[in-house]
Structure 1
């Protein structure tokens, strides 16, 4: 029987794949290139997480992730014209994937017996690393390195998830609260342009002297 976390994982895979394919289409990638970008976005964070947790990456044991990405590809091909005209399409799917994968990464790490601070880090890796790989593939500065609150939303969501577990809430309620927290933090940060402080330095120090 499929668990609630698996459902979140599949939906997150679909959402993240669409975000990657959507950006690849804007860069005029061909179908195969767009699929690779979508796949890397969908499985990149989970693969990095599993390698660090010393377990086999999930997509190597279950083809559903490749299939989900294929469905995302067809979705973008069929509804591409509508998606292009919706300026918030990328933000919507990226935020959904970010929130869902944070919960999935946190839950898997806890299930393997790691402490909560490791789970928060792994949740953040699961949520944010795929987006980093996507942005590198399409030659953009990764969102995690910009002023926008991105990975920090994962950290906050992970903390709320853990607090809910400590309060004795049911696992699925804790997962929903963690998901909603990441999503709300991400949306509010973008809407009200809330950013982290910028580390200032002397740009001249990074330039070569003639």
Structure 2
């Protein structure tokens, strides 16, 4: 995968999760500083955990302050335009789903760059896509989506499996990346629209 493509995916994912985090914080009526913090942890949480597991330190956002500035600018813009967006819940869902697909693909590619097996790459993609949301929901005193019956981490796993299936049949890198990101995004929309869930265990 070309470096430029990876950077594009990371920028788009960062923006998507910054918007997602900002809307989640505004739903809880946090002040501007709180919105910024939630946007920040949503955007960099998964990548930070991934890089620490890989021993790739300092982690990405510490090496490039532009990502911090991007999160700041996105958060401010989201706060500014909030009066023009009536359906916070739908907006949060769409950007969270888009960020999930983008960051899952980014995590998979980073695992490939480190020469790891497909299974571990898929796990890294799932961590990159999900853990920012886990930290966000924990700080907002909400049970993280990944721990509920809603199909969330499963979408990352299925998307990662699709990627390696497509690569097995020699599909080009860019096409495979787009296909996986679109698959995860559309799958999240379908499962929420039709209320498809995983089995729920407990008493």
In which range does the TM-score fall when normalised by the shorter chain?
over 0.9
Deviation at 1:58, TM superposition (A): 0.6
Q: Whose Rg is larger? A: 1
- How many pairs does the alignment contain? 201
Question: Is the CA contact (8 Å cut-off) linking 1:76 and 1:83 kept in structure 2?
Answer: no
Separation of aligned partners in 1, 2:193 and 2:19: 22
**Cα RMSD over matched residues?**
1.3
Q: Any stretches of 5+ residues in structure 2 without a counterpart?
A: none
1:167 corresponds to: 169
Match of 1:197 among 180, 186, 199: 199
Question: Is the CA contact (8 Å cut-off) linking 1:16 and 1:93 kept in structure 2?
Answer: yes
Deviation at 1:81, TM superposition (A): 1.1
Give the TM-score normalised by the residue count of structure 1: 0.92
Give the TM-score normalised by the residue count of structure 2: 0.95
2:8 corresponds to: 7
Separation of aligned partners in 2, 1:100 and 1:85: 23
2:84 corresponds to: 82
Separation of aligned partners in 2, 1:2 and 1:54: 20
Structure 1 stretches of 4+ moved >4 Å: none
Note the alpha carbon deviations across 1:159-187, whole angstroms, 9 max, x for none.
Answer: 11111111111111111111111112111
1:106 corresponds to: 108
Separation of aligned partners in 1, 2:162 and 2:7: 20
